[in-house]
Amino acid sequence: MTKLSSLIAGIIFGIGLTISGMVNPQKVLGFLNIFDAWDPSLMFVMIGAILIFSPLHFIFKRKSRPIFAENFIVSTKKNIDKNLIIGAATFGAGWGLAGLCPGPAISSLSFLNTGIYLFVLFMFLGFYLGNFILNRK
Amino acid sequence: MNIINFTPISAFVGGSLIGFAAFLFFAFNGRMAGISSIASGSIVNNENRFDNILFLFGLIIGPIIYSFSGNEIVSILTNSIPLLIIGGLLVGVGTKIGSGCTSGHGVCGISRFSLRSIIATITFIITGVITVLIFGI
């Protein structure tokens, strides 16, 4: 049953990304272009998502377990370490180069565009490389 | 600074749907809808692998389902293939090392008041802005 809820959550997430305009790299780059011609839309996407998710998640968290899965799986990491900062900084640079982050990139596979395919292919290679770097330390 | 192409209503509505999808994933699967973790979790053999793959499949068909509503989906990829390749690699490595992306840190993490996620989000927005400042859009 967790497979069904994964699929449905993915579809709704994908529709949300589409309606919000975040599948359009030009709009994402417009948000990052603060000092020139700024498009603040992405901020409203985050605010909308947080206003819905945050209270619902705090209410639901009091239950003993999720509806289909056995347990809640939430990161318990608290420390601000080098990996967090270097990783986030690296991600931001890639985000600014392409105007794509993981969610919109994967949703955009449906647009059958070679540039998107290459981005996603190299993103997955990046996951392997990141794993390699983490395991080496 | 000028404000252009600002679409607050569709951004907010789409964002709310993203938040609702994240809530469904939390309520039914007990997990955070961080797309970089879901994507990198789809290539390693763990118990949630097929949940992850189905979520990604949902992300891809979301825009296709939305397109049946008759609304046009705009996606303009402005950057060259080499920049998309480097961008994809940096996004993959960065989100793996920094344990999250716009959805995992920016939406889910901030929603649960995680200091790590707040710092990660500020960091990737700053390096994203600097990258766009250097490379343009």
pLDDT at A109: 96
A48 has pLDDT over 80:
yes
Domain-embedded: residue B1: no
Please tell me the distance from the alpha carbon of residue B101 to that of residue A130, in angstroms, as a whole number.
14
Domain-embedded: residue B42: yes
Global pTM reads 0.96
Please tell me the distance from the alpha carbon of residue A90 to that of residue A6, in angstroms, as a whole number.
29
Please tell me the distance from the alpha carbon of residue B79 to that of residue A114, in angstroms, as a whole number.
12
Q: Domain of B51?
A: 8-135
Please tell me the distance from the alpha carbon of residue A75 to that of residue B34, in angstroms, as a whole number.
11
Nearest to B118 by CA among B127, B105, B129: B105
Per-residue pLDDT tens for B6-52?
999 999 999 999 999 999 999 999 999 999 999 999 998 788 999 99
Number of Cα atoms under 13 Å in the Cβ half of residue B83: 18
**Percentage above 90 pLDDT, chain A:** 93
Mean pLDDT, range A103-126, rounded to an integer: 96
Domain-embedded: residue B3: no
Q: Which helix (H) or strand (E) element contains residue B2?
A: strand B2-3
Which structure tokens are listed for A37? 């011609």
Domain count, chain B: 1
Domain-embedded: residue B2: no
Which DSSP symbol is given to B31?
B
- Give the number of other CB atoms < 10 A from CB of residue A51: 15
Contacts of A57 in chain B (CB under 8 A): 22-23, 26, 111-112
What count of CB pairs under 8 Å joins A to B?
Answer: 510
Please tell me the distance from the alpha carbon of residue A29 to that of residue A96, in angstroms, as a whole number.
7
Per-residue pLDDT tens for B50-107?
999 999 999 999 999 999 998 888 898 878 999 999 999 999 999 999 999 999 999 9
Q: What part of B 94-113 touches A (C-beta under 8 Å)?
A: 94-103, 105-108, 110-112
Selecting from A2, A90, A97 the residue whose C-beta is nearest the C-beta of B29 gives A2
3-state secondary structure of B81: helix
pLDDT at A136: 86
A137 has pLDDT over 90:
no
Domain-embedded: residue B81: yes
Cα B88 to the center of its chain, rounded Å: 13
Please tell me the distance from the alpha carbon of residue B23 to that of residue B30, in angstroms, as a whole number.
9
Contact status of B41 with chain A (Cβ, < 8 Å): no
CB of A77 closer than 8 Å to CB of B88: no
Domain-embedded: residue B112: yes
